[in-house]
Structure 1
């Protein structure tokens, strides 16, 4: 069974989009990847797009979307990034809250360390999910 991961941040324009881009890149079809925001922006943060382009990952086609309870229900793992209590909690799900700086309004040189932190966390998550899926 393919695990589903939902990344959630407030605007679904930076952190959650970068995390989703990394997980899609790392895991391919082995993991279903969703992302959403509690108060989605009208477009993805262009600096987040530029930061991911440096990694060879194109997130330009992604659009911020509103967090939907059904997405949480369908997900095996829910990774929040500063959305606080906006995220509904269902028993039996894996929840992680990643404390990450918000890249909104920051220049690329300040977004790179945030991106690198997200990459490290996603690599660990993917390793864990893929190991469990293979078991």
Structure 2
């Protein structure tokens, strides 16, 4: 089973929305999410933006992005955690330039959610065609 890890700094917004969307759209994939410095809770705006489309955050409590969890993933999608995300050979890595929804008005967070959904659907199409953008070779 293909495993996709979504990561951001706090695991309170972007990665929560991405993981919730992927889990909903592609229940045949294993989905995980995490943050390099997990927040205390999922951003209320991210909760509301997901609720607008009938979804809930991927996890109730932000999770840590650990090397062991990254090792489990086939695809690692980062959003704003930069070089603090662990990198392992043989994994497919992408960094999505997605704006942080923290402290944004719900209208802006809904646009961020929609951007993430487009990216998730594109990623899923590539996973299903097995056409990655490139594995990290070390």
Partner in structure 2 of residue 86 of structure 1: 84
Q: How does 1:26-105 map to 2 (within 5 A)?
A: 26-28=25-27, 30-59=28-57, 61-105=59-103
Structure 2 length-normalised TM = 0.90
Closer/same/farther in 2, CA of residues 122 and 103 from structure 1, 3 Å limit: same
Structure 1 length-normalised TM = 0.92
| Inter-partner Cα distance in structure 2 for 1:73 and 1:119 | 25
Partner in structure 2 of residue 21 of structure 1: 20
Q: Is the 8 A contact 1:9 1:38 kept in 2?
A: yes
| Inter-partner Cα distance in structure 2 for 1:16 and 1:47 | 13
Which consecutive residues of structure 2, in runs of 5 or more, have no partner in the other structure? Answer: 131-138
SS of corresponding position for 2:122: helix
Post-superposition Cα deviations, 1:23-64, rounded to whole Å, max 9, x if no partner, equal: 000001x11000000111000001101001111112275210
Runs of 4+ in 1 over 6 A off after TM superposition: none
SS of corresponding position for 2:26: helix
| Inter-partner Cα distance in structure 2 for 1:60 and 1:90 | 24
Q: Is the 8 A contact 2:20 2:58 kept in 1?
A: no
* Equivalences, count: 131
Which consecutive residues of structure 1, in runs of 5 or more, have no partner in the other structure? Answer: none
Closer/same/farther in 2, CA of residues 65 and 9 from structure 1, 3 Å limit: same
| Inter-partner Cα distance in structure 1 for 2:15 and 2:30 | 14
Higher helix share goes to which structure?
Answer: 1
Computed over aligned residues only, the root mean square deviation of the Cα atoms, in angstroms, reads 1.4
| Inter-partner Cα distance in structure 2 for 1:35 and 1:44 | 12
